[in-house]
Structure 1
Amino acid sequence: MPEKPLILLTGSTDGIGYETARLLAAGDTTVVVHARTEEEGAAAFQRLVNSGADPRRLQPAVADFADLRQVADLAAAIGDAYPRLDVLVNNAGTGGTGHRVLTKDGHELTFQVNYLAPYLLTRLLADLIGASPVGRVVNVSSSLHRGGRINWTDPSWKRRYNRGAAYAQSKLALTMFTAALTELEPRVHEAVSVHPGIIATGMLTHYSFRGRPVSEGAEVVARLADPGAKVLNGCFYDGRLPDKAAAAAVEPEAVGKLWRLSERLTRLDQRRVRPA
């Protein structure tokens, strides 16, 4: 069992996730490096080691967020391997596709990967997070959440699918989830969401033309993920600074409604990790 603080960082194989993993591994932490596939995970692990990361500070984890069963299996594996989880960073995400794609679970791909999967993972790991004196969740959101709306009657966009609208909805939902954790999940001690900036990652071409270096976005996320750093519980950060989230992201009735909808869509009660 790791004695050092333990951080699970989803989406660690490229972009902001990879650079964040590299920064965190250079500190006094053990980083669970999550990948979509074993091949991507092995490649990222080797790149991190080649960059100077201590392999003893890195632990691999694999789950395709387009499959909620794999998300539940990941939570179970983490629960079997570790007595606590100090920080969970929900970073894995997709910019979406030009046409509507459904996962095997029957959800629109962007909504599942960017929101339902991190929702399920966080809920299933809540006991482990609560076992840590830090017990923090960091949700990597976007300023685009402010232009989003939850399509309550059609969250998977059976009608009038639009990639930008689907992405904004997913990031709004993730930001609302941050507010929900502070109100409805007492096992999580701290929860924040963050817009790391307009960064030159693979998703940039979908929404902008120019972005800042990946290292700048990673520094923002790594600071919030540092177990020793102080954060404002429930806060939305725009880069390094606290900022106001969209009004819809903190509206109590809507936040509670999304919490209940997410429980149903992820079939949470059927996937809970059974105690050993």
Structure 2
Amino acid sequence: MKDRLTPLTIPSRKGRLAIVTGASSGIGRATARALGLAGADVVLAVRNPDKGEQVAEQLRAEHPEGTHTVARLDTADLEAVRTFADAYVGRRIDMLVLNAGIGGTRRREVTPQNHELVMATNYFGHFVLTALLVDSLRAASRARVVTLGSIAARAGRLRFDDLDLERRWSRAQAYANSKLAMIMFARELQRHSTAGDWGLNAHAAHPGWAVTGMMPGGDRGVPQLLGGATRVMQSAGDGAQPVVFCAASRQAAAGGYYGPIGMFGVAGPVGRAPLPRQARSAAALTALWQATEKVTGVEFPR
């Protein structure tokens, strides 16, 4: 699917380091491309380094002046997250885009740390990664952390004593909960940054209804699968615009949630997105943060 929106105008990111998780396809690839075109040194943090290197080669061919490197990261495995983070401790990180994710599994599956797979991949791994890299983010001047939400987050219902959905699991609920958690994480991270004078800005973004690798057949399969519904869908490039806006635009408000503002929030230009109910509760934000620290065993600085 071709891009329809006018490309975003963002300031030069030359000399700045950006880490984009899940950058080998879809929204992550489009985000890595946009930040690279703006001059950033981009790390494609991916589960499959071979696939990541293919993407990096494509991006280098398109923009030879850019720097795109590949590093292995499986956000479902917290030990793999630690290994990845160790390589960046002591470095300055200007942009951390927490995009990696899976759409769901047919049955409840668990990770090596016994966490529910979707929550671990989409949320727990990113929470831990940010905690481990927070000093590297603080070393930058107004670093940006961007979490990936979804319009599906509206259906999320987080139980803070059962984040791993051990009592009641469904594929749809696991995905919705993981995306709601990511939105709430960004908002609470911003509160901690402001209170602790960390000097970083946190944002959440969602791509609307975009054609990505999570859909059967990807770009090629969507027209056959959805027919006329493609008229209200976005390309991955257009879907990435809210993410790129949060990562690089001076107009992005700290703690804000952004997404498409046309067609009921599934497509269109970037604007403020409505927050799901739990994400509007300060008490719920704090409860999620505390529960996640307990579940993962990783704490942010006090």
| Contact kept? 1:10, 1:33, Cα under 8 Å | yes
Match of 2:253 in 1: 232
CA distance in 1, matches of 2:156, 2:34: 31
2:43 equivalent to 1:35: no
Partner secondary structure for residue 151 of structure 1: coil
| Contact kept? 2:242, 2:258, Cα under 8 Å | no
Match of 1:124 in 2: 132
| TM superposition outliers: structure 1 runs of 4+ over 4 Å | none
Shift of 1:127: 0.8
Match of 2:85 in 1: 75
Q: What residue identity is the alignment partner of 2:152?
A: L
| Contact kept? 1:31, 1:57, Cα under 8 Å | yes
CA distance in 2, matches of 1:217, 1:120: 26
Gaps of 5+ in 1: none
Deviations 1:169-196 (A, max 9, x none): 0011111101111112432521110111
Q: How many residues align?
A: 265
Match of 1:197 in 2: 208
| Contact kept? 1:137, 1:188, Cα under 8 Å | no
CA distance in 2, matches of 1:199, 1:147: 18
Gaps of 5+ in 2: 1-12, 217-224, 261-269
Q: What residue identity is the alignment partner of 2:251?
A: K
Matches within 5 A, 1:209-224: 209=226, 210=230, 211-224=233-246
Shift of 1:29: 1.1
| Contact kept? 1:87, 1:134, Cα under 8 Å | no
Question: Could you tell me the TM-score, scaled by structure 1's length?
Answer: 0.89
Shift of 1:132: 1.1
CA distance in 1, matches of 2:45, 2:292: 23
Q: CA RMSD in A?
A: 2.2
Q: What residue identity is the alignment partner of 2:247?
A: A
Partner secondary structure for residue 78 of structure 1: coil
Shift of 1:3: 7.1
CA distance in 2, matches of 1:56, 1:22: 9
Which of 22, 27, 30 pairs up with 1:11? 22
| Contact kept? 2:210, 2:235, Cα under 8 Å | yes
Partner secondary structure for residue 100 of structure 1: coil
| Contact kept? 2:160, 2:287, Cα under 8 Å | no
| Contact kept? 1:145, 1:172, Cα under 8 Å | yes
Partner secondary structure for residue 278 of structure 2: helix
Q: Percent identity?
A: 33
Shift of 1:221: 1.8
Q: Judging changes above 3 Å, is the alpha-carbon distance between structure 1 residues 3 and 233 closer, same or farther for their aligned structure 2 residues?
A: closer
Partner secondary structure for residue 45 of structure 2: strand
CA distance in 2, matches of 1:122, 1:23: 22
Match of 2:64 in 1: 54
2:177 equivalent to 1:169: yes
Match of 1:149 in 2: 157
| Contact kept? 1:89, 1:138, Cα under 8 Å | yes
Partner secondary structure for residue 110 of structure 1: helix
Partner secondary structure for residue 202 of structure 1: coil
CA distance in 2, matches of 1:263, 1:188: 21
CA distance in 2, matches of 1:223, 1:256: 26
